[in-house]
Amino acid sequence: MSDFLPVCKEDMKKRGWDEVDFVYVCGDAYVDHSSFGAAIITRVLESRGYKIGFIAQPDWKDDNSICVFGKPRLGFIVSAGNMDSMVNHYTVSKKRRSQDAYTPGGVTGKRPDYATIVYSNLIRKVYKQIPIIIGGIETSLRRLAHYDYWSDSLKHSILVDSQANIAVYGMGELPIVEIAEALDSGIDVQDITFINGTVYKAKSLESVYDAVTLPSYDEMKADKRKYAESFYIQYCNTDHITAKRLVEKYNDHMYIVQNPPARPLTEIEMDDVYALPYMRAYHPSYEKLGGVPALSEIKYSLTSNRGCFGGCNFCALTFHQGRVLQTRSHESIIKEAELMTGEKDFKGYIHDVGGPTANFRHRACEKQVEKGVCTGKQCLFPKPCPNLKVDHSDYLSLLRELRNLPNVKKVFVRSGIRFDYLMADKDNTFIKELCKYHISGQLRVAPEHIADEVLSMMGKPQNSVYEAFVRRYQKVNKKTGKEQFLVPYLMSSHPGSTLESAVKLAEYLRDLGYMPEQVQDFYPTPSTISTCMYYTGVDPRNMEKVYVPVNPHEKAMQRALMQYRNPANYELVKEALIKTGRTDLIGFEPHCLIRPRKEKWREKTWNKKKKGKR
């Protein structure tokens, strides 16, 4: 049956069902598209014969809002949506966002803060004994004790506060099917402790084997360094081949146990997931509300990969999708593109072909197949590993196939291009075709900063690598006769960033002649190395102290330096330059960032004239 999943009892009855097996409760609006995790999980379960009801953005103040289908036969599945609900709601300055792209019409307030916890507690209030499975990125990054920026505190594992039975972390297709099959076979939810990619609660450790014991919650609460130690153990256990089972104690009768990660999907399995009968649209009931803005961003984009071996310290991908690349076949991607080109709103432009990193299309090295990713080492940082397989030929071939499809005018690459990986490729073929066919005037890249001491804390290559890329990019464009620009993503206030390094960045922007319209402050989201640094003041990899700008005024100065031309930032920029002893950058010379205020200049001029008359 090609249709949306039931969203009410009437839909259920039309399918001839008396009940559903699972109710999926989601903080996002219902969008049946493979870029939405909720759509993938529900369609995967449907493909295994399970009956799914979908409740999108229930009113968490109304018990009846999760009773739409009555009591499901097997359980509830809960997700906050495609984003952590707190990131969705608040800017880095903790101000409420004015729009929610995952809600009809972009309106805010349709989901609660800490949505997974609130929804799960609501379900537990109404259905006392029903199995509750939580998943999605909010659950994934909060699966063990974690620093929560919005409350500025160390929070419990999300399993503790949500009263759920099982948490699925990472990409959930394999674990959710195993959980469904276990429940369907009659296994009590309390006994489902054996599935990789899941976290569960245990009253004792009698049946827990081959486990690494982390510092207890109380120890971490009392000592931030203990949290840093725990975090790094977790970070080193994110690969499905090498990871150990992890245990976190809360009291003598409660332990949180994290099983090793689920294995990555094979290419065939990935193809199967993306071949499921998605409607590729938001639910029609949202049409009168203005639709769901997030869909327009990705409707004509293609996912070619998952995972990332880039290893940026401020990115949560290592904890969520992992460092092992998973890819779809060309045939699968071409088939989706052909479906896309047949849609009435398609204008001939494929907006993106990529994933977390567009130009990754295979594992970092062949050793990962049997031995997993290296523990304590990065594939690209501080320099590309000698074993790294650098090859753009498969991605290039895919782009060529796509741009030769009927009705396709242009194929854009808008996912992040990892420029240090591109620089490791001595063959110019990819960058030539990228510039010639897949950019429209500008390419967005993410150097993030230019001070090497900050870049090392970010897990990014030295600035010299970016500068070499800029020269190569400009040279290729000149040869192809195109005038195209680079738009760099830059970040202020990352751990390791001092006012002095912020001034360096401002000078770089001055020399570049570029003034960013928007500036991104470092955002301490759960479960990243950078967030651990922010909270603890140490680098969890070596336990050495790290300078962390936490004072709001200093952060405002660092941000203002990146937009020093904005008159509103004048006083902040001036204060920063005085504090760092860089008053040489206040004046009328070409290298100066700001000029003295006109009033004071006029006063000095008047005083000089007055002295002259005497």
Q: Residue 166: pLDDT above 60?
A: yes
pLDDT of residue 606: 45
User: Which pLDDT score is estimated for 384?
Assistant: 95
Tens of pLDDT, residue by residue over 570-582, are 999 999 999 999 9
282-297 pLDDT, tens digit per residue, is 999 999 999 999 999 8
Structure tokens of 97?
């966002």
> What is the residue-wise DSSP string for 378-396?
-SSSSS--TT-----HHHH
- CA nearest 378: which of 441, 323, 304? 323
Mean pLDDT of the chain: 95
**Mean pLDDT value of segment 294-314:** 95
Helices (H), 417-528: 419-423, 429-437, 452-458, 463-480, 499-512
Residue 286, Cβ neighbours under 10 Å: how many? 19
Residue 353 pLDDT grade (very low, low, confident, very high; cuts 50, 70, 90): very high
Sign of CA dihedral 32, 36, 41, 47: positive
Looking at residue 297, its pLDDT comes to: 87
Question: Which residue shows structure tokens 């922010």?
Answer: 534
In single-letter form, the type of residue at position 523 comes to Y
Confidence of residue 416 (pLDDT cuts 50, 70, 90): confident
Distance CA 192, CA 419 (A): 44
Query: Which residue from 48, 54, 52, 60 is spatially nearest to 25, judged by alpha carbons?
Result: 54
Q: Which two tokens stand for residue 292?
A: 């769901």
Q: What is the pLDDT of residue 519?
A: 81
Burial 396-428 (b: 16+ CB within 10 A, else e): bebbeebbeeeebeebbbbbbbbbbbbbbeeee
Give me 512's structure tokens: 């570049």
Helix (H/G/I), strand (E/B), else coil: 318: helix
Instruction: Give 412's contacts (C-beta < 8 A, 6+ positions apart).
Output: 349, 350, 351, 352, 353, 438, 439, 440
CB 78 within 8 A of CB 25: yes
Model confidence at 601: pLDDT above 50: no
Give start and end residues of each alpha helix (H) in 15-65. 37-47
Q: Where does residue 130 fall: left (phi above 0), alpha (psi -120 to 50 degrees), or beta otherwise?
A: beta
| Cβ-based neighbours of 472, under 8 Å, separated by 6 or more | 423, 431
Whether residue 461 is preceded by a cis peptide bond, meaning omega within 30 degrees of 0, is: no
Torsion sign (Cα): 372, 378, 384, 386? negative
Contacting residues for 115 by C-beta, under 8 A, at least 6 apart: 27, 60, 80, 81, 85, 138
pLDDT at 557 over 70: yes
Distances (CA, A) of 169 to 195, 242, 367: 11, 17, 25
Mean pLDDT of 78-85: 98
Give pLDDT tens digits for 362-385. 999 999 999 999 988 999 999 999
Give how far Cα 338 sits from Cα of 328, 333, 346, 355, 412, Å.
Answer: 15, 9, 11, 19, 16
**77: nearest Cα among 177, 146, 2, 161:** 177
**pLDDT tens track for 528-549:** 999 999 999 999 999 999 999 9
Across 231-236, average pLDDT: 97
Q: Which pLDDT score, from 0 to 100, does residue 1 have?
A: 59
- Residue 33: CA count within 13 A, CB half-sphere: 25
pLDDT of residue 611: 57
Q: What is the pLDDT of residue 164?
A: 98
For helices 552-562 and 570-579, give the axis angle rounded to 10 degrees: 110
Can you tell me the distance from the alpha carbon of 485 to that of 441, in angstroms, rounded to the nearest whole number?
6
Question: Is it the case that residue 521 has pLDDT exceeding 50?
Answer: yes
pLDDT at site 602: 46
In 265-348, alpha helices (H): 267-274, 293-298, 317-320, 330-341
Q: Which residues contact 243 (CB under 8 A, 6 or more apart)?
A: 237, 260, 261
Query: Distance between CA atoms of 472 and 243, rounded to whole angstroms?
Result: 40
Q: For residues 21 and 52, is the Cβ–Cβ distance under 8 A?
A: yes
Whole-angstrom distance, CA of residue 112 vs CA of residue 129: 23
Instruction: Tell me the three state secondary structure of residue 354.
Output: strand
Tell me what pLDDT residue 612 has. Answer: 54
Which two tokens mark 328?
């779809």
0.85 exceeded by pTM: yes
Are the beta carbons of 31 and 281 closer than 8 angstroms? yes
pLDDT of residue 516: 86
What order do you get walking across the sheet with 254-258 strand by strand?
52-56, 22-26, 75-79, 132-135, 166-168, 198-202, 254-258, 245-251, 211-213
DSSP H helical segments within 17-104, as ranges? 37-47, 85-89
Q: Where are the alpha helices (DSSP H) in 34-81?
A: 37-47
- Rounded CA-CA distance 75/53 in Å is 11
CA dihedral 219, 225, 228, 229 (to 10 degrees): -70
The predicted model gives 342-347 an average pLDDT of 93
Q: At residue 245, what is the residue type?
A: R
Domains in the chain: ranges and CATH = 9-199 (3.40.50.280), 300-436 (3.30.750.210), 441-614 (3.30.750.200)
State the Cα–Cα distance between residues 172 and 166, nearest whole angstrom: 12
